[in-house]
Amino acid sequence: MAKEKKSVEMAPVLQSFKEYIANHYMDELLQEMTAAMSLNLVEGLDVDCKDSEIIVEPNGTELVRAEPWRVDRTNLIADCKVRLKFGLSKEGSLPRFIIRYINFTAEVTLEDGITLHKGIKDFTTYVLPERKLPKLTKYLVPVLTYEEMEVLVLEMLQKYLGDEDALKDRENGADQLAKAMGLKIQHVSLYRNHYTSAVLYLKEGHARVVASGASGSGTDDEEAADILIPAKTIVINDNREHMGDVDREIYHECGHYEWHSMFFELQELHAADLRLLEYQEADKASKPAEKDIRWIERQASFVGIAAMFPRPVIAPLIRKQWKDVANTDDNLGHKLALIISRIAKDKQKARSIIKTRMICMGSVGAKGALNYVDGHYIADFAFDEDNISSGETFVISRSQFTDMYEKDADFRKLISTHAFVYADGHVCVNQSHFVRKTDKGYMLTTWALGHVDECCLKFTKTYHISAQHYRVGELHSDQDYNESYLMIHSFEITGMTLEELMDKNLEYLDELPRRPSKALSKLVKDRVKTQRGLAAASGISEAKISRMCNDDSYVYSIQDVTRIVIGLQLPPPLSALFLDMTGFTRAVMVKYLKYQCIMDCLFMEDIENVVESHKKLFDEQ
């Protein structure tokens, strides 16, 4: 019996600007081009077309290039190149076809449709010069550096608010800007949508909302209503789970309106042009524009903060605060954290907004300030700014760390060398110069906090969900475990050489009983003194620990052994031996890679922190 084929949803492939022009305006372009040729107005054309009939061969003619340049919100200049196959006929003679490449400039408006303006110019066979205008992608998204975005944000504010008001520190600037742009702001409670913050309706449309106007997850079972949203409206969703900064959201949508109207107009035209389009599987159809969509959101996010705090407004605030912290002994990350906190308090804005603004303005060191990881702010840190690029970070949460360990074989191989340990939001070289032991796990030393690029792994953020890749920063050395990490036994080790310490550790491993109950009893006595101590440090009940210490037939779960390893702070050589005794051999642990990562690199952490960041793992039975 033949298998039933799985149905595949098909969708039209997005059209680029060039493809749209080729599909809709090729006849107009050729008409103006041949008119210019007949008057010998094409610079560099080596054929005299005057007094001849120009016959174009469609099969050999195509629009090769249509490079768009942004003029303003709805207007662009397109530098085009056509491969023209044509022949000349005089008095009815048969033409001899030749091919020439002709460049020219077209002016286009995208608003309520697309308009190709009459009067194409600059006909030439030579390469057109680069323009001093923002370049647009083939889907009409501006290609902008951060410096160019800074300039354009200021120009946008000046355009709509005036030169003087654009430089003011405004309390309700977002509302003023939206109003000046002709945009309305409407608050609604989007039905069963707790994630979307705001939506810009460039054209009239509909929204499904909670009929009562209430918000919160409890409204998911209420009645819904369909409402009409007028064109040029910013919809603020009052039903989202995490309420953000409304000013930022409005500025964000204003950025879309000013910078991305042509992109959205092109896609609107695309949707109405289905008969001319190529079709592919739905998930593949949108792939060509993925990068452009990411750029759109990054640019609008930049506007959301930069318009709130234009450079001429925030730069003096930063300079004023810097005078107070410049000469302190703190690392740069902590100095910048103080500046961020003071400005945020004064302006009643989230510290994350001020931090992001400083980073975008070039203060890369602010990446080391106020990093919120696993429910708390980790210690501020500093690094050489030449050793980190856009999208890179030295910070990683416990769950991100174990996820990467499970999914990335190369990363797992690197971590399995036991040369690294998780320490307060970082993956650090495990040496006493870099990490110190505390009641809450490993922490970076003062020196390491000032030089994380020399002792911690660096990670690269991508814009794909749950996709992260690592690469190693410059490390000081790659020696064997440091003294603290190798302390398997509980005896005094002061004054021992590394070789003596290794011998002592091997002796302890050899003497450890091979029966699980006896081994655990000895480990409890040597490391936490009592079963009650292990219960407090592991979250396992005293009664359960008592059974473990007296019954070799006790069947351990992976959660049990992970809690014991953390509660007793067993380093990898010792935890590996205990795992083997309890039935979790190396072959079995292949199924439990996240737990292995926790036992290898988070064994010094507080059990409550580990469980809190890996709830799903410890809920599994």
pLDDT digits (tens, 9 = 90+) for 226-259: 999 999 999 999 988 877 789 999 999 999 999 9
CA–CA distance, 57 with 349 (Å, rounded to integer): 63
Give which of 558, 569, 552 is closest to 605, Cα–Cα.
Answer: 569
Is residue 231 within 8 A of residue 202, CB to CB? The reply is yes
Q: From edge to edge, which strands make up the β-sheet containing 184-188?
A: 184-188, 233-237, 198-201
pLDDT at 279 over 70: no
pLDDT score of 466: 29
CA–CA distance, 358 with 364 (Å, rounded to integer): 8
CA–CA distance, 236 with 250 (Å, rounded to integer): 8
pLDDT score of 13: 53
Is residue 295 within 8 A of residue 141, CB to CB? The reply is yes
Read off the pLDDT of residues 425-449 as tens digits, 9 standing for 90 and up: 999 988 889 999 888 788 999 999 9
Which residues touch 567 (CB under 8 Å, ≥6 apart)?
Answer: 528, 534, 537, 538, 539, 540, 607
Read off the pLDDT of residues 365-393 as tens digits, 9 standing for 90 and up: 999 999 999 888 999 999 999 888 877 88
CA quadruple 158, 162, 166, 170: dihedral sign: negative
Is residue 606 within 8 A of residue 441, CB to CB? The reply is yes
Read off the pLDDT of residues 181-216 as tens digits, 9 standing for 90 and up: 999 999 999 998 888 889 999 989 899 998 888 877
Q: How far is CA 336 from its chain centroid?
A: 23
pLDDT score of 491: 45
Q: How far is CA 146 from its chain centroid?
A: 16
522 CB neighbour count, 10 Å cutoff: 16
Which residues touch 185 (CB under 8 Å, ≥6 apart)?
Answer: 175, 178, 233, 234, 236, 250
Read off the pLDDT of residues 311-355 as tens digits, 9 standing for 90 and up: 999 999 999 999 999 999 999 999 999 999 999 999 999 999 999
Q: How far is CA 229 from its chain centroid?
A: 31
Dihedral angle over CA of 114, 119, 122, 128, nearest 10: -10
pLDDT score of 299: 92
Read off the pLDDT of residues 526-547 as tens digits, 9 standing for 90 and up: 999 999 999 999 999 999 999 9
pLDDT score of 509: 83
CA quadruple 271, 228, 110, 143: dihedral sign: negative
pLDDT bin (cut points 50, 70, 90) of residue 497 is: low
The share of the chain scoring above pLDDT 70, in percent, equals 87
pLDDT score of 485: 37
Give which of 156, 143, 141, 71 is closest to 109, Cα–Cα.
Answer: 71
pLDDT bin (cut points 50, 70, 90) of residue 418 is: confident
Beta strands 233-237 and 184-188 are: parallel
More confident residue, 155 or 275: 155
CA distances from 114 to 183, 204, 548 (A): 22, 18, 76
The share of the chain scoring above pLDDT 90, in percent, equals 60
For all residues of the chain together, what is the average pLDDT? 85
Query: The domain 506-619: what is its CATH number?
Result: 1.10.260
Q: Domains of the chain: which residue ranges? A: 17-133, 147-306, 311-370, 371-485, 506-619
pLDDT score of 550: 94
DSSP 469-515: EEEE---S---S--TTTT--S-S--TT--HHHHHHHHHHHHHHS-SS
The whole-number average pLDDT for the span 1-12 is 46
- Classify 156 as helix, strand or coil: helix
pLDDT at 105 over 60: yes
Looking at the whole model, is its pTM more than 0.85?
no
CA–CA distance, 536 with 365 (Å, rounded to integer): 40
Dig out the tokens for 253 from the structure.
């949508």
